[in-house]
Each structure stands twice: as C-alpha cells, then as structure tokens.
Chain A
C-alpha cells in the first residue's frame, strides 16, 4: 500500500471515530433519560405534587419543594434582572474606554468561573450571619442573584453590542439625551437577546443546589413558605435528600422529582431558544 492510500484510510477511519463518539454521547443521554423515566414516571400523580414531605416514602410529596423553587425563582428574578441589565448597560454604553470598566470586565470573567459553592460561603457569612437574614428565602435568592449576575451582564452586553450605531445616531440627531436613547431605542431593540440571557440564567438558578445547602436551606420543611423570611427547601435539595437515602422507595421519589425538575429546566431553555431564534430572524439590521 502506498502512502496516499494509507492517508486516505486514516482520513476515513477518523470519520467513523467521530461518528462513534457522537453516537456514544447521544446513547448515554438516552440511557440517562430512559432510566429516570422508568424509575420515576409512575410515581408522579396529583398526590405527589400536592403532599408535604414525609418520613414514609409512599406518602411524601414535593409541595414544599416546588413552592420553594417558585419563591426562589421570583425573588432571584426581582433582584438579579434590574441589577444585571443596569451593569450591562453601564459597561457597554458608558464605561467603554475607562480603566474601571476594563477592571470590571476582567472581574466578571473571573466571577463566572468561581465555583457555586464558594458563593454559598459568601452568602452564609454576609447574608445569613452579618445581615441576620437566617437561612431564609431572601438569603437564598440574594446568594443565587450574585451567582447569576455575571451571566445576565454578559448576555445584556452581547445584545446591546448587536444594536447598530445608526439607531443611536438617529436618536441623538432628534435631540434625545443619552439615557433617552438607551431607554427608548437601544434597550427595546436589544430586549430579545437580554430576555434569552435572563431565562437561561434563571434556569441555572433553579437547578443550583450546593450554594443553598451551604447557606443552610433545609432538607425537611413541613410547611409551605409564606413570606421571604421563611425557611425553605427547593426541588434540587429535596432530590439530593431523597437520593442520598439507601431505601429504594426514596430513590423512586427522587427520580420522580427529577422528572419535574427536568421539565422545568427544559421548558425554560426551550423558551429561551425560541426567543433567541425569533429575535435573530425577525430583526435584520
């Protein structure tokens, strides 16, 4: 066999290696999903969704867990969205050239790489102890807000960057101030991209467990939280608690709760992708 033939053989072989690797990845994903559905799907019924947690696996439900997740989601959104967009606007529209902005930029890149459990330690010391919030919903939401802030800022900046200069110049030409231009022209034009980033970051917050464990969120909460200062649990915490137990019945409960959690995150991601596609296809600068 000559050199040329060998090279062609290697070339073809790698193609099959590539296809094999992709298939293995997809296969693992499939096994993963099938296993969870087979274990947990039959456990999901109305009682499971509306029952309080219990020591008996068959009677336990996820009422406190999903209400806690909703509370956390809402509070985190209220705190993180305005702050994140404001920071994004400042960095993109105001501080383009000054030194402070470049420091902030490096800093945000770095924050995005800090493990989530470290945010938990920050929240434990600052919110739970120093600000005396205890292991409340508010402390949890503040901690998660700090965690997703870099994601919202980066997404906002990308979206703002995509707005063409002509729009700005036209607005200035009509006598609008800088803020008027941003508020009435640029932000609406960038809203699709910002929205996508927000939904993705919130879906991340919904799935986070470690920082909430560290700030002291409880595994067993026998009541539905009524206000932001109440103690709480969330779906991932409940799942962690159940799957850490050796009894098979609790594992089944865990699988069932995982299905609910996956549905929530996939729906959120689906909505985000939908917005992104619509925004990208409709606006043709």
Chain B
C-alpha cells in the first residue's frame, strides 16, 4: 500500500518534469505547423531574398530581410554598449575593487535586472531620444540608436554579473602566482584572469545577444514600426519582435496569411535564439577550464 502511494507520487512528479519537454515540443509544433502553411503560399526564396516586408498593405511583399536587419541593428548597438561597460565593470569588481564593494554592487545589479522592460522603453522614448536629438542631426522620433543604447544598458548587468562570476571561479592561486611574478593588477587581469575565464565571459556575451534579439518592449516602444532595409541607426526600424506585437495589437483574422506571418517571423526569431543558446551550452560544456 505504502509502496503504491510512493509510486503514484513519483509518477506525478515525473509528469511535472516532463511538462517542460511538452512545452518545447509545443513551441516547435506551433511554429512549424503555422509556418508550414505560410510557406505553402509564400515561397521560401521570396521570404529570404525579397527586400520588402509589407504583409499589411495592399501591395504585399514577404521579405524577412528588413525585419532581420532591424533586429541585428538594434542588437548590435546594444551589444556594443553592454559589452565594454559590462566587462570593465566585471574586471574592476573582481580585480580592483575592495571586497565589500562586490557585495554592495550585486543588489544594485539585481534591481536593474528586475525593472520591467516596458519601463526601459519609456526611458528610451522620453529621455534618450530627445538627448540624442539635441546633438545628432537627423534623429527620428523613433530610432534604432536610442532603443539599442537603452537595451544595452538593460543587458549590461547580465554581462557584468555573469562575467564576474566567471572571473570569480578562477582559482586564487593563479592570481597570486601572477602577482608573485611581479605583474601589476592590470597585467594579471588581462593576461591571466580574463584568458582563464574566457569561456564564461564568451557565454555571457552570447546569452546577452540572445536576450537582445528576443527583446520586445524596448524596441516596440522606441525603435518604430517601419520595416525599411537600412543600417542607419538614426532612422526608425522594425524588429521581428515589434512586428509580432504590431500584428497582435491589430485585428487580424485567425487563419489568414497575415496571421501566419507572425509565426514565420517567430520561427526565424526562435532559430536565432536557439542557435545562440546551443552555442553557449556547448562552450560551457566543452571549453570550461577545470581547476582542481
């Protein structure tokens, strides 16, 4: 009797764990099946090479390139902001800062990470964009630069705290050996510690990229909704995520081709983040330096 009860409980727990696999399968099934019927009407070649994306207009074009460049542009700006700042802060905290500071900075980082993303969108639109307009000519009300910069501020805590964890995991003996050889803190940091923690630092950057690619609210609020093929950061762009939001806010019939476009856009987004996550997982497993 007791044994049976134990078995039933175990089965229940196992089912909960299995649910996570169902979620993954569900995501893949939903994206693939809807995209499949999308690609029955639009050729894959057009989707990948057409330079216009106008599914909501009368003259319809289904080229993903404008959305892709919009996404890559905002992501690129975000990473260029987050990476140098995040890494310098991580190195400073682990190699230079007094011991107590690390403990006091962590909660501040956690606060930054807890702020809902729509709030960052408001910041981009009402503070950063007017500031950019004050000294760069030709900045639109909605622009990739402002959204990208704010997204960079948003993911910076992620880069710095993960990189710092990676630096922290390097054994102290390495640092002491370097000091013993007469190296300065700067030399120790960049010639010993950063190389030793390189896989962890790389993973933090890859995950930050994945986060920026999938980020929605900042770009939906501040980057605009014009799917134009441009790399000019001063102009408005539309990212994949913004497009999905734009369609969701409108009145689109279930089963129509417009409805299916959000899944075609979604699967593109999913593939990107999936590959980035896979890469980070592989690097973590394969290249992590093991110290005894």
Report A's interface with B, CB cutoff 8 A: 7-8, 10-11, 14-15, 17-19, 21-22, 24-26, 28-29, 31-32, 35-36, 39, 82-84, 86-87, 89-91, 94-95, 101, 103-104, 106-111, 113-122, 124-126, 129, 146, 149-150, 153, 177-179, 200, 203-204, 206-210, 213-214, 216, 219, 236, 239-240, 243-244, 251, 254-255, 258, 261-262, 265-266, 269, 273
Contacts and interface: CB of A to CB of B under 8 A. Distances in A.
Contacts of A200: 114
B248 A213 contact: yes
Given A114-B273, A118-B27, 11 more contacts: A7-B184, A87-B13, A114-B214, A115-B273, A117-B269, A120-B248, A179-B9, A219-B249, A243-B122, A251-B126, A258-B118
Interface residues of B, number: 82
Contact of A117 (B10, B91, B266): B266
Nearest to A203: B114
Q: Is the interface of A mostly helix, strand, loop or mixed?
A: helix
B29 to A, nearest CB: 9
Interface in B191-221: 207, 210-211, 213-217, 220-221
Contact of A118 (B10, B92, B270): B270
Contact of B10 (A17, A94, A149, A239): A94
Contact of B21 (A8, A26, A104, A178): A104
A21 B16 CA distance: 44
B105 interface: yes
A258 B13 contact: no
B279 to A, nearest CB: 11
Interface string B1-43: 0100110011011101111110110110011001000000000
B179 to A, nearest CB: 12
A117 B118 CA distance: 13
Given A18-B88, A87-B20, A115 B153 contact: no
Contacts of A83: 16, 19
Contacts of B277: 109-110, 113
B250 to A, nearest CB: 11
A262 B92 CA distance: 29
Contacts of A19: 92
The 4 closest A-B pairs by CB, nearest first: A115-B214, A18-B92, A207-B116, A86-B16
Given A35-B127, A153-B20, A269-B111, A239 B276 contact: no
27 contacts: A14-B92, A21-B92, A31-B127, A39-B126, A104-B18, A107-B20, A108-B20, A110-B24, A111-B24, A113-B276, A116-B216, A117-B244, A118-B269, A118-B270, A118-B273, A121-B27, A121-B263, A122-B27, A126-B26, A149-B23, A207-B117, A208-B116, A214-B262, A216-B248, A239-B119, A243-B118, A261-B116
